Amino acid sequence: MKKLSRLIYGFALLSFSCDAQENGPKIQSPSTIDYTYEVVTDSIDIPWGLTFLSNNELLVTEKAGILYRVVDGVKTEVQGLPPVYVRGQGGLLDIAIAPNYQETGIIYFTTSSPLGEDKGGHTALYSTQLEGNQLVNTKLLYKGDYNTKKGQHWGSRISFDDQGYLYFSIGDRGNREVNPQDLTRDGGKIYRLNLDGSIPTDNPFVDNDNNRKAIYSYGHRNPQGMITHPETGKIWVHEHGPRGGDEINVIKAGKNYGWPIITYGINYSGTPITDITKKEGLEQPLYYWLPSIAPSGMTFSTSDIYPNWKGDLFVGSLKFEYLERLEIKNNQVIKREKVLDSIGRVRNVEEGPDGYLYVGVEGKGILKIVPKA
C-alpha cells in the first residue's frame, strides 16, 4: 500500500459544548491529540463514496463518473458503469457492499441518472457485482421520477439496518416547494428496500397506490450522510440545511422531518424561509449546526484503535475543510472537536474493517488516520 505519512504534533482540536441545542455550541478551551495520517491513494478530484472489499482493497467513486478499484494503494479504473449524468452536485455518488457480500458479491451504488422520458436526471440506485475490473450483472433497483436539469440536491448515501434492509437518500432536487412533502413524488426522502430491490410490505406508505411505496421518511432537504448506529441499530442521517440549520436526524418510519415547513436556516440571500422552527407532527433534529458546516459523509468509531474516540460520531465539513468529531450522550451533543483541520473539503469518512478511520478529501484522495505512538 502506498503510504505518504505526515506527522501532526500537538494538534490543537477546538472543543465545543452545547447546553441547549437551539443555543448553538459554546467554545471551550482546546484539547490536543497526536496522530499521523497516511495517503492510501491520491489524485482523486472528488472521492464521493468508498467501501471496503477487504483490509487492502476498496472501491472509490469519483463524482465525475469514474469508479476506482484500489488494491494496496494502486488504483485501477473499473469498467461497465451505467450512464452517469454529471451536472452540478450530481455524478457518481455513494457505494456500499451488501451485508452478505461474502456470499453474494453484491455491491450497491447511487448515481445521477439520465434515464427516463424527461430531460435532465434524477438519483438512481443500482446493484452490481465485480469481476476483476469489470462490473457485471448490473441492475437498476430504483430511480427517482420527474427528471430535472437542476444540478443540486441529489443526496445520496446508502446504509443497512440490522434487519437486513437497505436505506438510501435522495435530496429534494432543488424543488423544496413540492418534492419533500409530497408522497407521490421522489425527492427529499429516505427510502427502504429489501436487498433484492423489492419493497418491504411493512413500509409506512404502501397502502396508498399513489404514494411512492419505497419511501420510509420524508421532509428532508439534501441528506449526504447516513450510518447505522452501532448499538441501537437506528439509521442516522445528516443533511445540508440552507444558510444555517444543517441537521442530524434519527430516522423513524413514516415520520416527517419538516423541510421546508420548519427549519433553523435561512435563504442564502439572507431572507427568511419561515419563522417556524418547531411544529406538532414534525420531527426535531437530534442536533443542528449554526453556522452550517456543509456536512458530507458520516461514521461512528467503534474500535479500540482510538480509545478516546470510541463511540463518537465523525462528520466531514465541506465548507470549513475539516473532519468533525461529535461526542454524544443521551441524544445530546456534548462536545465537538476539529480533526484534520484545514485538510481540504472532506467528502466522506468511513471506518474500515481494520478499525481505522478513512477520510475522502477532495483533490487529495483517501487518507487513513493513525494514532501517533
What amino acid is encoded at 108 in this protein?
Y
Asked whether 216 and 190 are in contact (CB, 8 A), the reply is yes
CA–CA separation, 335 vs 348, rounded Å?
21
- Catalytic center residues: 153
**Residue bearing cell 449554526:** 290
Asked whether 313 and 328 are in contact (CB, 8 A), the reply is yes
Strands 223-228, 235-239: pairing is antiparallel
Picking from 281, 353, 372, 344, the residue whose alpha carbon sits closest to that of residue 56 is: 353
Gyration radius (Cα) of the chain, Å: 20
CA–CA separation, 91 vs 97, rounded Å?
19
Torsion angle, alpha carbons of 144, 293, 357, 225, to 10 = -20
All three cell numbers of 182, joined, read 409530497
CA–CA separation, 12 vs 7, rounded Å?
13
Asked whether 295 and 289 are in contact (CB, 8 A), the reply is yes
Picking from 161, 224, 168, 235, the residue whose alpha carbon sits closest to that of residue 197 is: 168
List the Cα angle 283/284/286 in 5-degree steps: 125
Asked whether 336 and 317 are in contact (CB, 8 A), the reply is no
CA–CA separation, 216 vs 72, rounded Å?
38
CA–CA separation, 3 vs 246, rounded Å?
34
Asked whether 348 and 298 are in contact (CB, 8 A), the reply is no
Picking from 268, 263, 232, the residue whose alpha carbon sits closest to that of residue 246 is: 263
